[in-house]
Amino acid sequence: MKQSEQVIEWTVLEHGQWELYVAKTNKGLCYIGSPASSFEEFKAYFAKRYPAFALIENPETLAPYVQELTDYFSGAKQTFSLPIDVKGTPFQEEIWRALQAIPYGKTVSYSEIAERINRPSAARAVGSAIGANPLLILVPCHRVIGKNGAISGYRGGMELKRFLLDLELQKT
């Protein structure tokens, strides 16, 4: 490892039939993968964002994050307390903050998010920013649905999105 490399520690979270790559920087959790993503896709995500990085498998340092996610999946936890480290454009980061304000068990539409950030005509741009969210679940993009109430696209796949929405609706 070179001194200028960004160290990214990772592990695999297993839950039922799903395996999710989970990664953190020294500042906090930075990535939660999709159930169907490969290790090559996982590496490609970081290659696009860091000029130099080192992926180090380290289940021990990610254990607190894995535990919080496992507790969430089991319905025992509704909020997350560990630090996150998400990086995007200023617009993406604004959207991701708006997503974090959506209460557990509630849903909003893309246009509602656009209105919350005072850009009512930006629903499509909001959708693009949501699709680029690197922290599935912790930055709860699964809580965003179509204006007509339809469950629409999700980087984690529709099965995971339905699972997360059903889980939250059962607990509220």
**What is the longest distance spanned by two Cα atoms in the chain?**
51
Tell me the CB-side half-sphere exposure of residue 85, using CA atoms within 13 A.
15
142 and 165 Cβ atoms separated by less than 8 Å: yes
Bridge partners (DSSP) listed for residue 55: 8
CA 155 to chain centre: 9
Sign of the C-alpha dihedral computed for residues 21, 126, 28 and 106 taken in this order? negative
141 part of the active site: yes
Question: 98 Cβ partners below 8 Å, 6+ apart?
Answer: 113, 116, 117
From the list 141, 145, 160, 164, the catalytic residue is 141
Active site residues: 141
